Amino acid sequence: GPEVDMHCNTARRGNSNSRSGSKVKEEKPKKGQARRSKAKEKKKVLREQCEEECRQDEEAPKCSKNHRNEKAKTEERGDFKRKTKDSCDEERNHISSDSSSESEELSADEEESQEEKDVLTQEELEKLKEAVEEKKKLIANLRGKPWPMSKKLVTLRESQEFVEKYEGALGKGKGRKLYAYKVMMMKKWMKFQRDFENFRTACIPWEMKIKEIESHFGSSVASYFIFLRWMYGMNMILFGLTFGLVMVPEALMGRPYGSMPRKTVPRSEQAGAMDFAVLWDFGGYAQYSVLFYGYYNNQRAIGWLKFRMPLSYFLVGVGTVAYSYMVVIRTMARNANRDGGGDDTSFNFSWKMFTSWDYLIGNPETADNKFASITTSFKESIVEEQESHKDENIHLTRFLRVLANFLVLCCLAGSGYLIYFVVRRSQKFALEGLENYGWWERNEVNMVMSLLGMFCPMLFDVISSLENYHPRIALQWQLGRIFALFLGNLYTFIIALMDEINLKRREEEVVKYNMTVWQASLYNGTVDDNSTTSTIPVDPADVPRGPCWETMVGQEFVRLIVSDTMTTYITLLIGDFLRAVFVRFFNYCWCWDLEYGFPSYSEFDVSGNVLGLIFNQGMIWMGAFYAPCLPALNVLRLHVSMYLQCWAVMCCNVPQERVFKASGSNNFYMAMLLVILFLSTLPAIYTIVSIPPSFDCGPFSGKKRMYDVIQETLENDFPLWFGKVFSYASNPGLVLPFILVMILAIYYLQSTSKTYKAANMDLKKKLQTRQVQGW
C-alpha cells in the first residue's frame, strides 16, 4: 500500500532528508491501537510534506490528492508495486526485530486505507505525469541554466527527490549511463574536429608570419603577403607540370648529353662553357640542358614507355596557361561569393568590441599580437567611419579628379612616346653595329625604362593627392596607373624580342645553305652521290648549328627574371635596410630628427610590390613554353622573397599612418593578374601559330608549324573516327553557333545574378526595418 511505499522511501533516504528519517525512528516502537491513528497521522504528515514540496515547485499540480493519486498509480503499474515491495523488504531487514510484526499490522492497515481512497480521475493522473516530466526535463537542462552552482545543486537534489518519490529510481541508472556515453562520443567528435582543423591550418605555410605582420601593419600589407603565398601555390603546380612531364622524361628517357648536335656545346664555345660568368648568363652547359627548348629531341616516342615527348611538350605548354586561367577565375568567383554573401556591417563596432578577443589565448606573445591586431582593426574601422562622414563638395571634387586624370594621361602619353623614340634609336644603333657606341647608347632602353619606373610612380602619388579618395580607392587608382606605365615596358621588350627572332630566322636560312655545302665537303673522298646517307662519324660538337631562336627567347626571359630579382633584393637591402640603419644610428649626431623628418623609416610599398609580382608572373607565362625551367626558378624566387620580405617588413618598416582595411577579397589583384595573363599569352600564341620552328633544335624541329604535332597524333594514335569527329567539330559552321549560344548564356546568367542581388538587398532592408520596428 501507499503508506508502506512512502515509509520505505523515506526510510531509504534517511541521510539526506532528516525529517522523514526522524519520523521513521519515532514511529517504530509504537504498538497496538494507536497504530491506525498512527497511520492516519503518517498520511497527514506526508501530505503536508508533499504540499510543502509542491509549494516550492511552481509546476506541481494540486497536492491534496497526491497520496490518492499515488495509490491509483500503484494499482495501474503492478510491477512497480511489486518492486517497491521488494525494496521495502530489503529496507525492513535493516530495521529492528519487530519490523515483521509491524509489517503485518501495516498490511492490515493497508487494506483499510485502500477502501478509504477514492478513484483518481484521469485529469489528476495526467497532471502528475506532467509534473514528473517537467522535473525530469529540468534535471536534464540544469547545466544550461545561468544559476550559481549552489542553487543548481539544491534544485537538482529537490527535483530528483520529487521524481524519485513519484516514480522511483527506475530507469534512471540506465538513462544516465546512456547520456554519459553520448556525451563522451560528442566530446571525442569535437576533439577530433578541433584537431583536424588545427592540422589543416598548420599545413598552410607561413600562417604565423603573416598573422604577425597583419597584427602590426594592418590588412593591406598582409594582403600582399597572402597574394604572394597564393602565387607560390600556383607556381608549385606549374612547376610540377613542367618538371614532371617535360624535364624529367627527357632527362631520363631521352638521348643523353653529347649524343646529338643539339645536345652538345659547339666546339667553338667549349673553352668557356663552364665559366661562372657564362653560366650566370645561361650560356654554356646551362644552355645545352633540359632547361631550354633547344635540348629536346623531336623523336616521336622515347624510352620503354613510348612517351610522346613532342606531344607532351605542347600539351604542357597549353596546360599551364589553361590551368592558370582556371585558377585565377575560380579564385575571383570565390572571392566575389564571399564578399556578396557576408556583407553584414550592421553591427561592425559592437562585434569588434565584444567578440574580437580570443579567450583561448594563453601565450604572452600571441596576446601581444592579438592586442596589436585589435587596435589596428579598430583604427581601420575608425578611418572608414570618418571617410563616410566627410563633407563633400561634389563639384570641386569632380573637377579636381578630372584634372588629375588628365595630368596622368599626359604623363603616360609622354612616357609612351619617350619609350617609342628610344626603341627606334636603339634599333638604328643595332643596325649600325653596337660596338661603335658607348655604354649609354648600348643600355639606353634599359636605363630609360628604369628611370621612368622610378620617377613616374612618385609623380602619380603627388597627383593623386588632388583627388581626395578613400585610401583604398586611391591605392587602386595608383595601381592602375603604374600598370599602364609598365605596359610600356612590356611593349619595348616584345618589340626587341621580335626583332631578334626575325634576325635569327634570317641567319637560319644562311646556315641551312651552308650546311649543304659543309656536308658536301665531308664526302670529298667518296664517289657515289646516289647512295643513302653515309655514316661518316662526325663529332656532334663540330656540326654547324642553326641559331635556335626559341632557346634565345627562353634565355632572354630567364635573364630578365634573374636581373629583376636581383634589382628587387638590392633595392630592398639598400632602400629599406640601410636606410633604417642610417636613421637609427645617425639620429644621435644629426641636426634634425631623422626619424620624423626626412628620410625616416620607410613604409611598405604595397602597390609597387604587388605590381612587381604580377608582372613577373606575366613574364613566366610568356616564357614557360620556351624555357621549361622558368616555373622552377620562380618557385625558388618566391620562396626566398617571402622570407626576405617578411624579415624586412618587421625589421625596417613602420606601419602607414592611416591604416586602412584592404578589401578582404583581393579581387582587384586578381583582375590585374587576369589582364596580364591574357596579354602575356598573346605573344606566345602568336609565335606558336605563325613562326615555323627551327630546323635543328627542339621537339618540333622538322615540322612546318608547332601545332602540327596535334594533327600528327590524331592521325597516328587515335582511331579513324576520332579524327573525323574532330574535323567536324572544327567546322566553322558548328563553331559559330556554339559561340553564339555561349554569349547568350552569359547574358542570361548576368541578368539573373543582377536580379538576385537586388532581391537580396531588398530582403536585408526589410529585415533591418522589422528589427527596429519590433522595439
Partner 1 sequence: MGNKQTIFTDEQLDAYQDCTFFTRKEILRLHGRYHELAPHLVPMDYTNDPDVKIPLALIVNMPELKENPFRNRIVESFSEDGEGNLSFNDFVDMFSVLSEMAPRELKAIYAFKIYDFNTDNFICKEDLEKTLNKLTREELTPEEVNLVCEKAIEEADLDGDNKLSFADFENMISKAPDFLRYL
Note the residues at the interface with partner 1 (CB under 8 A).
Answer: 139, 142-146, 148-150, 152-153, 156-157, 176, 180, 183-184, 186-187, 190, 194, 342, 344, 346-351, 353-364, 366-367, 371, 374-375, 378-379, 381-382, 385, 771-772, 774-775
Nearest to 619 by CA among 562, 689, 701, 547: 562
Q: For partner 1, which is the closer residue by CB, 149 or 394?
A: 149
Residue indicated by cell numbers 635543328 = 696
CB of 184 to partner 1, least distance (A): 7
Alpha-carbon distance values, 201 to 111, 206, 464, 646 (Å): 74, 10, 40, 19
**Full 3-state SS string of 307-331:** ECHHHHHHHHHHHHHHHHHHHHHHH
Q: Is 566:312 a contact under the CB 8 Å cutoff? A: no
CB of 133 to partner 1, least distance (A): 17
Q: For partner 1, which is the closer residue by CB, 189 or 686?
A: 189
CB of 130 to partner 1, least distance (A): 21
Q: For partner 1, which is the closer residue by CB, 342 or 732?
A: 342
CB of 350 to partner 1, least distance (A): 5
CB of 366 to partner 1, least distance (A): 8
Q: Phi then psi for 682, rounded to 5 degrees?
A: -60, -50
CB of 143 to partner 1, least distance (A): 5
Q: Please, which residues have CB within 8 angstroms of residue 309's CB and are 6 or more apart in sequence?
A: 249, 250, 254, 296, 297, 299, 300, 301, 302, 699
Q: For partner 1, which is the closer residue by CB, 320 or 377?
A: 377
Q: Is 109:41 a contact under the CB 8 Å cutoff? A: no
Nearest to 442 by CA among 462, 422, 457: 422
Q: Pairing relation of β-strands 602-603 and 653-654?
A: parallel
Counting every residue, how long is the chain?
775
DSSP string, 410-467: HHHHHHHHHHHHHHHHHHHHHHH-GGGS-HHHHTHHHHHHHHHHHHHHHHHHHHHTTT
Q: For partner 1, which is the closer residue by CB, 114 or 198?
A: 198
CB of 619 to partner 1, least distance (A): 40
What angle is formed at CA 270 by the lines to CA 268 and CA 275, rounded to 5 degrees? Answer: 125
CB of 201 to partner 1, least distance (A): 13
Q: For partner 1, which is the closer residue by CB, 193 or 731?
A: 193
Q: For partner 1, which is the closer residue by CB, 21 or 283?
A: 21
CA 716 to chain centre: 44
Nearest to 89 by CA among 21, 25, 172, 7: 7
DSSP string, 650-679: HHHEE--SS--PPPTT-HHHHHHHHHHHHH
Q: For partner 1, which is the closer residue by CB, 196 or 399?
A: 196
Q: For partner 1, which is the closer residue by CB, 716 or 771?
A: 771
The three grid cell numbers given for residue 14, joined into one nine-digit string = 534517511
CB of 374 to partner 1, least distance (A): 5
